[in-house]
Amino acid sequence: MRTIINKPEVLAPAGTLEKLKVAINYGADAVYIGGDAYGLRTRAGNFSFDQMREGVAFAKAHNAKVYVAANIVAHEGDVQGAGKFFRTLRDIGISAVIVSDPSLIEIAITEAPGLPVHLSTQASATNYETLNFWQNEGLERVVLAREVGIEEIKEMRRHTNVQIEAFIHGAMCIGYSGRCVLSNHMSMRDANRGGCAQNCRWKYDLFEMPTMGEKQTETDPKTPFTMSAVDMAMIEHIPDLVEAGVNSFKIEGRMKSIHYVSTVANVYRRAVDSYCADPDHYVLNQDWVDELWKVAQREMSTGFYYGTPTQDDELFGKRRKRPQYTFVGQVLDYDAKRQVAMVQQRNNFGVGDKVEFYGPHFTHHEEVIQQLWDKDNDILRRAPDAMMVYQVPVDIPVKAGDMLRKERAK
């Protein structure tokens, strides 16, 4: 029987403190977050230093790690204060900082000794010579460009012992490793300094060149063109990733919901554990694939891992598959004596709806809502008010942190 010596880390996104705790509760070994400066997600719920301290304390209590993304492409004046920023991260207990700009890497290494540095995917590392270069500069891990294939990773592993982190699930960028200037040109927002407007996902019409006159007649006005890629999902290829030598499985999505974070972390935790426990008898569970489709917002593919993507990996034309479920609530508490769950509402649900409860360790069960009360025990038919707390009788015990979702009407 083969034994997996280096079990890969499941690394989840955490755009807020709530998402950090959810990701770790649902199986993430580590999370990556953003601070108030130097990151590429200015619209995410970035962390203050006090929130980082709370997040690090929670992570350590659950034997997990917290990384901070500081991966902007720095212009003149952007690095001011970076030394103090990195020293503060080190003193808070952040496990590593993820950086792409050489000036910020140098500042982190020289002015915050003891703070591990990981190379961001924005730096477009695509060969082992590059990995060895950054290891010689003092970096312990490289996050590969998303344009790298499985065979290339194997070649890297044969020639380097630096830690390899690779994206295995989530959105793909139309720009090379995220380096895009569409947002700069069209929205006056610098994508490489945290302001991406996701212009590639806008809907476009096609026009004749060079006059830019009438639209092409072949374009269906009901299916406008985008320049966007479908999402990545490597759930069906866990053995290939492990055997290629990937040390950390990175999930994209710091701006996604707790429904997304909990579901995706739960699935990859289950798959990684199953494979590493017995690689000789590992079998893909179709339930894992089906589970991911409950939160998918776009079609999914394997990106560049097995060759250059084709037109089937682009988002245009009619959707081939749609999201199946809506996230409706989170369990805050459970009264075992009364068999009643206290649920914080996230989307409309009510009496007669069939909902699915799911929790960490891939627990699932379905129930039909028979009764519903507010906190004052007033009887309700619907729970329409976002973030309000309702009482829901349940037949099967649930736990605080479990989630509820319901299937969308077809």
pLDDT tens track for 345-391: 999 999 999 999 999 999 999 999 999 999 899 999 999 898 999 99
Same domain, 302 and 358: no
Output phi, psi for 290, to 5 deg. Answer: -60, -35
Kindly write down the DSSP assignment for every residue of 45-88, as one continuous string: -PPPHHHHHHHHHHHHHTT-EEEEE------TTTTTTHHHHHHH
**Cross-strand pairs, 251:** 169
The pLDDT assigned to 66 comes to 98
Output phi, psi for 240, to 5 deg. Answer: -60, -40
Considering the chain, what percentage of its residues have pLDDT values greater than 70? 85
- Mean pLDDT throughout 48-59? 97
* 94 within a domain of the structure (yes/no): yes
What tokens appear for 382 in the block?
Answer: 């619907």
| Residue that wins the pLDDT comparison between 4 and 372 | 372
Same domain, 309 and 339: no
H/E run at residue 113: none
- Mean pLDDT throughout 270-289? 96
Amino acid identity at 283: V
Same domain, 166 and 252: yes
Output phi, psi for 174, to 5 deg. Answer: -75, -25
Query: What CATH number has the domain bearing residue 383?
Result: 2.40.30.10
Q: d(Cα 210, Cα 205) in Å, to the nearest integer?
A: 15
From the list 11, 8, 31, 13, the residue with the least C-alpha distance to 239 is: 8
pLDDT tens figures, 310-358: 777 777 665 556 667 999 999 999 999 999 999 999 999 999 999 999 9
| Residue that wins the pLDDT comparison between 225 and 259 | 259
Domain closes at, from 313, 345, 377: 313
* 208 within a domain of the structure (yes/no): no
Same domain, 13 and 135: yes
* 199 within a domain of the structure (yes/no): no
Same domain, 36 and 164: yes
* 210 within a domain of the structure (yes/no): no
Same domain, 272 and 373: no
Query: What CATH number has the domain bearing residue 99?
Result: 3.20.20.70
| Residue that wins the pLDDT comparison between 37 and 129 | 129
| Residue that wins the pLDDT comparison between 376 and 61 | 61
**Cis, bond preceding 210 (omega within 30 deg of 0):** yes
Mention every residue, 6+ apart, whose C-beta is less than 8 A from residue 125. 119, 131, 134, 142, 143, 144, 145, 148
Instruction: Give the confidence band of 27 by pLDDT, cuts at 50, 70, 90.
Output: very high
Domain closes at, from 289, 313, 337: 313
What is the b/e burial string over 51-85, where b = at least 16 CB atoms within 10 angstroms of the residue's CB? bbeebbebbeeeebbbbbbbbbbbeeebbeebeeb
pLDDT at 408 over 90: no
Number of independent structural domains in the chain: 2
Q: SS in 3 state form for 367-379?
A: EECCCCEECCCCE
pLDDT tens figures, 129-156: 999 999 999 999 999 999 999 999 999 9
Domain of residue 351 covers 325-407
* 4 within a domain of the structure (yes/no): no
pLDDT at 127 over 80: yes
Instruction: Give the confidence band of 227 by pLDDT, cuts at 50, 70, 90.
Output: confident
The beta strands (E) that lie in 93-150 are given as 96-99, 117-119, 141-143
From the list 197, 249, 255, 247, the residue with the least C-alpha distance to 227 is: 197
Mention every residue, 6+ apart, whose C-beta is less than 8 A from residue 337. none
Instruction: Give the confidence band of 217 by pLDDT, cuts at 50, 70, 90.
Output: very low
Kindly write down the DSSP assignment for every residue of 5-60, as one continuous string: SSPPEEEEE-SSHHHHHHHHHTT-SEEEEE-SSS-S-TTS-PPPHHHHHHHHHHHH
Same domain, 165 and 91: yes
Q: d(Cα 360, Cα 402) in Å, to the nearest integer?
A: 7
pLDDT tens figures, 166-198: 999 998 777 666 667 776 766 766 655 556 666
Considering the chain, what percentage of its residues have pLDDT values greater than 90? 69
* 196 within a domain of the structure (yes/no): no
